[in-house]
Structure 1
Amino acid sequence: MLLLLIGSLTFTVVNAQDGSGELVSKKGFAILPEAGDIGLGINAVPVFGYFGNMMNGTAGNNISYNFVNGTNTIYGKYYLDATTAVRARIRLAKASTFDKEYVIKDLDVPDPLALVEDIYQIKSCNVQLGAGYELRRGKGRLQGFYGGEVLISYATGGTNYIYGNNYSPDFTTPSTTDFGTNITANGRVQETKTGKTVGMGLRAFIGTEYFFAPKISVAGEFGWGFAYVFTGRGEVTEESWNGTEIKTTVTKDLGGKGYNLDTDNLSGAIALIFHF
């Protein structure tokens, strides 16, 4: 269905060449990218799937503007000239969410109307950056491209717990909200930190791109690259009552590291690229 749609769209645009030999549409618009153009890629499958389903009357049909390979990374190009371009990938994500719950305040004389707050915070950070150089060749609408790129990633996260009731000689098991991961055999968690994960990679790529309309194309590629990933030590901070006072325990893991050398197909993505 995807090939049928591309073919039908291409058939409606008549090829022509101006006096310089540049490939143009019937209305005189350049079909291939030019120096200074920017290319922005999205996942082609939902778009062409929508038009295909529209033709066969599929119920509940919808369209979406998705990232190229499902990793929330923006994919783009800047053309230095008709045969060379620089590529970029970028994702900058930081999140913090809170869950607040009321719990009865610990008092010598319990009062169901006296409440305090327990707070559960989740934090995360995810950065993915890539830069590359692309060479292009081909005739007509079908273009081939190849080149190399450098990839860098960074990720970290953690949780914080703030409790309304503290440990004390009178309340050695303070009333506490069970958030699902904070209650332990000996006490309760105050904080967790995931080890900082840093990744670095080098990747060579080669692919094909077909322009079925002026400066609108579908593309796919294969790659071969090396990636090294290092994860620092994470830790969990726990508090408990040891019989006379509050005891704080910090447990650390060992982290890890690894590498990968392999071929890839950009997670099987088919990109729909708009040039402007």
Structure 2
Amino acid sequence: MKKILLSAVAVFAFSFANAQELVSSKGENYLPQEGDWSIGFSANSALKFVGNAFNGTSGNEVNFNSNDAQKLPGFTNSITFLGKKFTADNKADRYTANFLFSYEKPKDVDATTQFGLIAGYGKEWRKGSTRLQGFYGFDGLVGFGIPQKDAFNFLVGAQGFVGAEYFVFPKVGLGAQYTYAVAIGYQKSKDANTGVESSKFGFNIGNTNTGLGTASVLLNLYF
């Protein structure tokens, strides 16, 4: 996380000396405008808060691919894709999708398939009149997962975010974002040996282990 933040700070600090030019030498606008769309992704997913939502306890690290009976599978280590529709020069609707699919077939062992999806819709507001833009807003979230045979996860939640973005090229933005989320989760599973079914509800605030939010790097393309 420190490397991510330091890299972002370095980019933003360098940008101040060149942040006044809003039109390229070819006449292209650097900044998004009303009616524009964007596509992008967040490396280092901001949705790593889900684990405790499945059991209501703290300090319980959760891994989507875990086979450890003491850990409850959740949505982690995936990439969040982000789409935006600008309803004004400084305001946008946001559409997020956090998707994970894995398939594993060890020798002489049955294949394991795992699937997870978290979708979100939200609002974003932007500040700044140069190529360096600040932004903030919120997303509503809903998700489900099938982490193993006879198991099912479901959650609803919301996240707030704040960040900054620098337009390195016309309509190409590189930035950093800090996200803080809350969620209510449900898990249903069946013991492979006894066939006994169990279910759990839970509530989680912030990152699974620390209770803090999550920093991530953003790359967005506008058109």
TM-score above 0.5, yes or no? yes
| Distance change (3 Å), C-alpha of 1:273 and 1:264 | farther
Deviations 1:75-126 (Å, cap 9, x if unpaired)? 222222211111122145556666685xxxxxxxxxxxxxxxxx72423221
Unaligned runs of 5+ in 1: 17-22, 46-68, 102-118, 160-192, 239-249
Letter in 2 for 1:142: L
Structure 2 contact 178–216 (Cα < 8 Å) conserved: no
Aligned-residue sequence identity (percent) comes to: 24
For residues 1-16 of structure 1, the aligned pairs below 5 Å read: 2=7, 15-16=20-21
Aligned match of 2:59: none
1:87 matched to 2:77? The reply is: no
Give the CA RMSD over aligned residues: 3.2
CA distance in structure 1 between the aligned counterparts of 2:156 and 2:30, rounded to whole angstroms: 36
Aligned match of 1:35: 34
CA distance in structure 1 between the aligned counterparts of 2:43 and 2:155, rounded to whole angstroms: 28
For residues 91-130 of structure 1, the aligned pairs below 5 Å read: 91-93=98-100, 120-130=110-120
Aligned match of 1:235: 191
CA distance in structure 2 between the aligned counterparts of 1:31 and 1:84, rounded to whole angstroms: 16
Aligned match of 1:275: 222
**Which of residues 200, 218, 222 in structure 1 aligns to 2:174?**
218
CA distance in structure 2 between the aligned counterparts of 1:158 and 1:42, rounded to whole angstroms: 27
Structure 2 contact 35–85 (Cα < 8 Å) conserved: yes
CA distance in structure 2 between the aligned counterparts of 1:70 and 1:96, rounded to whole angstroms: 15
Structure 1 contact 14–25 (Cα < 8 Å) conserved: no
Letter in 2 for 1:41: G
| Distance change (3 Å), C-alpha of 1:5 and 1:223 | closer
Structure 2 contact 133–165 (Cα < 8 Å) conserved: yes
Letter in 1 for 2:166: Y
TM-score (norm 1): 0.55
For residues 114-153 of structure 1, the aligned pairs below 5 Å read: 120-153=110-143
| Distance change (3 Å), C-alpha of 1:232 and 1:145 | same
Number of residue pairs aligned between Structure 1 and Structure 2: 182
1:199 matched to 2:155? The reply is: yes
How far did residue 39 of structure 1 move? 2.1
Structure 1 contact 24–31 (Cα < 8 Å) conserved: yes
| Distance change (3 Å), C-alpha of 1:28 and 1:226 | same
TM-score (norm 2): 0.66
> Could you say what secondary structure the match of 1:211 adopts?
strand
Unaligned runs of 5+ in 2: 1-5, 45-75
Structure 1 contact 15–25 (Cα < 8 Å) conserved: no
Deviations 1:191-234 (Å, cap 9, x if unpaired)? xx22x111111122222222232112222222333211111132
Letter in 2 for 1:88: Y
> Could you say what secondary structure the match of 2:198 adopts?
coil
Structure 1 contact 132–149 (Cα < 8 Å) conserved: yes
Aligned match of 1:254: 198
